[in-house]
Chains A and B, each alone.
Chain A
Amino acid sequence: MAQNPYLSAATRLVAPLDRTLMLLILAVLVLSLAIQFSANNMSLQATQQHAVRIGIGLLALLAMAHITPLHLKRWAPILFLLNLLLLVAVVFYGSGDTAQRWLTLGPVVLQPSELLKLTIPLVVAYVLGPSLPPLSPVRVMLALALVAGATWLVAIQPDLGTALLISAVGVSVILLAGISRRWVLGLGALTGISLPFVWQYALREYQKDRIRIFFNPEADPLGSGYNVIQSKIAVGSGGISGKGWTHSTQAQFDFLPEHSTDFIFSVYAEEFGLIGVAVLVALYLAILWRIVAMSRTGPDRFSQLLIGGLGLSLLIHILINIAMTVGYAPVTGSPLPLMSYGGSAMISTLAAFGMMMAARHYALVRLK
């Protein structure tokens, strides 16, 4: 039976895609579009822009899905270095309200710190992939140094929240690679000792405030604690079934700041209630466990570390963002993956899924 050449081209195009994961991602993206329409005061223009970014993100996903792990491995150090260069550029040419996070490159406004959630797992997988446990101390030190360097570049923007997130992602991928208990204890001790010095010398006053407010948001209800208080009001007032789509008063009347970006979850929880939250959390959990399943047999250690590392990066972002909206994590200015408004995060998250799918697909292909 003669095959339709176009059909076969299309089949080849989507071949690397993981059907289960794609369905789950698309389900979250539908919720994302719905809640962005509402959070942007039913502005079609803003929703369209969000949709365009999703489209670009899905194209990036598709593109990344066709890059074999071998190519990716070859490009890993260059991509990471490029990312670091962009971060350095941000320090000199960046823009933003309190921190410089954005970089304007022609028509594109880029947030390089968002790309780190791709390149950190990539570079750690690159460095630690060739070494089997017990890991070579040199490689571990190198991986730690790269993560620390990236963290430092983000921290001086200054964007402490993202820096912490980045270091957490980096450390979690290193943990995944399988370092010994001694290393874990040693690193833990080092962190514990350095904390007072970081507080004393590295943090700016507003950052200290953020952390103080995290422990006691009511102390400054109109200042730094305001966001968290308003976010908790939004979440709590949602009730079981929510106020209904487009009926978030907290967002419509601007009580909740950053309600389309960092605090999109609060708006979602306000409008769709506990039922909606349960659905979203279930979708995220399904995505995460699908990623776990995808990494099970990855014969190639680099691919496995990459899939696992990107999965951990996703998990950490989801956890920190949701915890922040109910006051269990400091206000960091980090988006909720797949939900928040903002191009860099959306595109890099979708691209990460593409990488995972490619790693899985070509690993399987090689097995055959």
Chain B
Amino acid sequence: MGWFDRGAAANVPAPSPQAAQGMALDVRDLGLDYGPVQALSDITLTVARGEFVALLGPSGCGKTSLLRSVAGFAHPQRGRIAINEADVLGLPARRRNIGMVFQNYALFPHLTAAQNIRFGLRCRRTPTAQADRLVADILEVVGLRDLGDRLPAQLSGGQQQRVALARALVIQPSLLLLDEALGALDRKLRVEMQAELKALQRRFMIATVFVTHDQEEAMAMADRIAVMRSGRIEQLDTPRGLFLRPRNGWVADFMGAGNLLPGRIGQADAHGHREFEVGPGCAFSITPEAPHEGASIYVRSDRVQLRLVAPSEAGLVIVARRFLGAQVELQAQGARSLVRALIPIEHADGFEIASRVAASAKPEDCLLLPA
């Protein structure tokens, strides 16, 4: 079903291979104030050519402000932005050679799909014959070959999305910027578009910055993710890095991939493993190499070990059970924390709702974090 496989569309040239060195986007110590509010502080970030970076965070974290600063619609007071090694901070948006896709697509309503796509080429005074070819080719690539003469109002949401993408790509921009571009699609279409967008990006090797508030979406698409909070980057890492080693409790909690369990460091045993007291029924410990102080541990759901206990023992109560196919997700409520565990289906018998369990994990699987 991959529409991106249709047609050769070899006429849309890729960015020149000589430009392999250097960063497509280089942001240093960026600061942006809106009056008394600091929308961005100390933002430092690079995007290599062909790389896909997601800006992820809750509302108000500054991800859109950062994207708009790169695009040229917001004007930071401090720091530096360079696109393909060239300083762009004084440059208006139209001179930055960016391709931007907005959440509501922002298609020109009185122009057809083909005319919309052509718009950027006309601004660059591309000769008509060449422009015709480029437009036809990109329509083919995005799978809208026969729909070029339709007005946006005559296209479905997904089709409008592709026109917006085509319009941004056909001008061969240095950077592709997407502002929650998949936000308006329904779930099924959204998941499809994630794959297609990623494939398209790979094909054209365009450096891409993608704003989203959806962790799953960011993890699925990005080479690296900048997790942002209150105008700062909390952690800039690969999806794997964020999953295995979140830097602090907030990131772990936001990514939602595991358990963030507050507690206290207790006594060490013979091997130097210190107990981490979470509550009755929980037996977690941390390795000797872990820091001396910490307020919580992060434990992946699939590394939590559960064992049924007798009513007389301290324990947690299973309050939810979700069948996920190869795994079963169990939620066990303790005195102070809710522990989520992912158990392989083969071992899930006996763990029913209202069963009493004890939770534990190996010290290597418990990551000690500051608050």
A and B bind: no
Residues of B within 8 A of A (CB): none
Residues of A within 8 A of B (CB): none
